[in-house]
Amino acid sequence: MKPLKIFIPFIVGIILLVSSFFASAQSPEEFKQRRQAVLAKMAPNSVLILRSNEAAGGFENPRIGGYFYYLTGINETNACLILRGESTRPLPPARYGRRPQIPLSELLFITPVNPARANWDAQGLGIEGAINEMGFEHVMSFREFDSSLGQLLLENPEIIYMDIQKSNSLESPLTEDEQLLKMARDKGAQFTIQSPSVVLSRMVHIKSTAEIEIIRKAVEITAEAHRTVMRSIQPDMYEYQIDGIVRYIFQINGATAAGFPCIIGSGPNSVVLHWMENSRKMNDGDVVVVDIGAEYGLYWADITRTLPVNGTYSARQKEIYEIVLKANEEAIKMVAPGAAVAGISNVIDEILSNGMVEIGLIKNAEDFRKYYYHGPGHPIGLINMEYTDFDNLEKGMVITIEPGIYVREEALGVRIEDDVLVTENGYEVLSKGVPKKINDIEKLMRESGIDTKKHLINMKY
């Protein structure tokens, strides 16, 4: 293990260079326009505070995402952004001869470049990089954030948009956030805390042209992984071997991570929505649910297909599959600006319930929830993002449509999930490159893929 240490700084350097490429996929001007839009939405005398996560150790691949990346384009730990809404009140009197230092509408805190560590660790943007490359005008060292935040709280903002780290119970010690807010209130500050999602939630649902292109790339990589799995899967393979094939395709195409742990659920595991153990040997006659999504440029895809392990669906598997496929296709046809999510969900419910009655799985249509126990889909986009519920679709949203039927007593689960962009006049199925009709899947599964047996080692010690 020790020789590996020689290469770790090099590997980390490559990772951060890739992260810098991701940051440039959207222009600094786009991030600036988002900040300006947020400032326009903020209440008077309010402050928005966003933090990237703290560095956990010496070697890491930062995957920030969330609201911080959405407004800055910076994929680094130990960084913070403060936005100040319009002020209608005068600043409080100077304390100890000092005025608060944050009269600016936006201020970024970032870790400075450390030349002494340049031969050991890849360096981030630093203060100069944030100014010259990302277009920030006012940047300070991350070390100054705590004191600046304390001064800011004493300016008596009325609203603070901030995700607070909270203690687990009344008996638990106060977190650093709670201690800071308590001290400010003890000194007379009066403010309410609101989630940043109050001003950001609708914005993040509507994807820009640049964001859509990044998501499109993530979808294309995921589609290639699905096609490769279809060509490669064989009875007696393990679920984790499919997981390995998926991640291999992700990596060689520049997707340095999976957007979520791969779900490879075969046989009895196919009815478990979030089966991520991926430990079972797949048997001849099983189906396997392959629910995967590449992360590219910090944006993720999410596509699911259900495959026959031996390459041919049985009559019963086809019966269930065709019902789910019909629900998937009919729901997608409803996607358009203004379409009600509830309406799409109702169509899926109706098709699945009627189909279950027709094949004798249930007697009464209202019992369909026994075999279908999730919603119609969800938004996708930037990682670590808080996506709130919405009632109607809008142009620029990217969502999944993912009906399913899960028959536990038959160890038979089927889910079909596509990624769909809401366009000006309707929809575009971004994941159309992944076969989902039975004949097309079976045809592709007859082609040659990755033979994992060639790479297996002798485990007889």
If you write DSSP's letter for every residue of 284-315 in order, what string do you get?
TT-EEEEEE-EEETTEE--EEEEEETTSS--H
Burial pattern 335-364, b for ≥16 Cβ within 10 A else e, equals: bbbebebeebbebbbebbbebbeeeebbee
H or E stretch at 221: helix 209-232
* Pair 108, 72: CB distance under 8 Å: yes
Question: Nearest Cα to 177, choosing from 194, 161, 165, 192?
Answer: 165
Antiparallel, parallel or unpaired: β 106-110 and 139-141: parallel
- What pTM did the predictor assign? 0.89
Instruction: Name beta bridge partners: 110.
Output: 141
Helices and strands, counts by H and E, the chain: 12, 17
Between vectors from CA 25 to CA 24 and to CA 30, what angle results, nearest 5°?
A: 80
Domains annotated on the chain, with CATH: 2-202 (3.40.350.10), 206-455 (3.90.230.10)
Tokens of 216: 């499109």
* Pair 196, 159: CB distance under 8 Å: no
Residue 77 and residue 56: Cα distance in Å, rounded? 9
Residue 147 and residue 433: Cα distance in Å, rounded? 52
Q: Tens digit of pLDDT per residue, the chain (461 long)? A: 333 333 333 333 433 434 434 444 799 999 999 999 999 999 999 999 999 976 544 455 678 999 999 999 999 999 999 999 987 766 555 554 444 455 579 999 999 998 888 888 888 999 999 999 999 999 999 999 988 888 888 888 999 999 998 888 888 899 988 998 999 999 888 999 999 999 999 999 999 999 999 999 999 999 999 999 999 999 999 999 999 999 999 999 999 899 999 999 999 999 999 999 999 999 999 999 999 999 999 999 999 999 999 999 999 999 999 999 999 999 999 999 999 999 999 999 999 999 999 999 999 999 999 999 999 999 999 999 888 889 999 999 999 999 999 999 999 999 999 999 999 999 999 999 999 999 999 999 999 999 999 999 876 55
* Pair 263, 275: CB distance under 8 Å: yes
